[in-house]
Amino acid sequence: MPSLTILVVEDQGALLQGIIRILGIKFPDANILGVKNGEIALDTVMSLEGQIDLIITDVEMPVMDGETFLREAFWAFGKLRKCTIVTGNTHERRFFTEESLPCIQKPFNPTVLHEAIDNLLVDS
């Protein structure tokens, strides 16, 4: 598999680093970028001209939430290849259902994250 570019958007520093560590083990050759809110994530997507293979984003974050970030990114680049949502919020948001975006409920273990990513990348 060619090298992937993965963007992780999470405002909790320890969780962001944990997800990056899990991804680094699964995809040792991947370019894994970690940012703390949707605004920085959107800037990152724009600077890379949408060339991101996988996005893992939290929903509730300061500055710009995950839903707003994805709406803006989808508007700018169409639906980006693959994304999954990580949330501590138990109610589903309509946007994620409409876009068929898989959600992972916090807290989660590495196996759950691996399975979600594998399911997303199957169609690549």
CATH of the domain at 51: 3.40.50.2300
- The mean pLDDT of 53-61, rounded to a whole number, is 89
**DSSP-H helix ranges across 37-79:** 38-47, 66-77
Cβ-based burial of 86 (10 A; exposed 0-12, middle 13-18, buried ≥19): buried
The residue segments making up the domain with residue 67 are 5-121
Identify the residue with better confidence: 122 or 24: 24
Domain tally for the chain?
1
| Residue 64 to residues 28, 36, 55, 92, 109, Cα–Cα distance (Å) | 29, 10, 15, 18, 26
Instruction: Please give the helix or strand (H or E) that residue 102 lies within, else none.
Output: none
Q: How high is the pLDDT of residue 91?
A: 60
Q: How high is the pLDDT of residue 1?
A: 47
* Amino acid occupying residue 28: P
Q: Is the pLDDT of residue 72 over 70?
A: yes
